[in-house]
Amino acid sequence: MFHGWENFFTVGASAGATLIGLLFVAISLGTGLSTPQGLDATRAFLTPTLILFGGVLFECMAVLPPWPSAWPVGIILGLCGLTGLIRQIQVILKQRKLNFHSLDWLDWTQFSLVPILGYASLIAGAAGLIAEKSFAPYAIAGAITLLLLAGIYGAWSVTLWIARNRDKI
């Protein structure tokens, strides 16, 4: 099923875990995030980034065991994709309520569109696994890559926001 993909998913899981750790370091920069604006920003941008990295870690770890068939991992990844898609829609609605003037179309693309594409690819890959299609590992690997890249962009943006607004919050 994933023969030859072990290194990719091991690296993906390691990247997700490492980036979660670095996200905690970035948060230590913003120890004053207890103001209402800081808490709103945390809920709207930081928590979704943490969920992206945690999801990547979980999804990569889910494909690494030697499953007896593709069904269990296909169902797990499909549920992850559906849950992530629903969560991402909630995140977009929450981010739109906040008034962050510094966010341009590129920011919104990275925060909104890229994760949606990643979750859609994960769902397609999971369906492909269950149907035993050859494209499935590629769709899942593409999803992992998109979600990692969206998370990296989100972590970088949040870190910059914290650094720039440290004295304002």
Task: Give the CA-trace dihedral at 64, 70, 74, 75, to 10 degrees.
Answer: -110
Q: Is residue 56 within 8 Å of residue 16, measured between CB atoms?
A: yes
Tens digit of pLDDT at every position of the chain (169 positions) = 788 999 999 999 999 999 999 888 877 766 665 666 666 666 677 888 999 999 999 999 999 999 999 999 999 999 999 999 999 999 888 777 765 556 677 777 888 899 999 999 999 999 999 999 999 999 999 999 999 999 998 888 877 777 776 666 5
Q: Looking at residue 87, what is its pLDDT? A: 94
Per-domain boundaries in the chain: 6-165
Q: What are phi and psi of 65, to 5 degrees?
A: -65, 155
Question: CB count, 10 Å around CB of 69?
Answer: 11
Round to whole Å and give the CA distance between 158 and 109.
15
Report pTM. 0.88
- Tokens coding 63: 């494909």
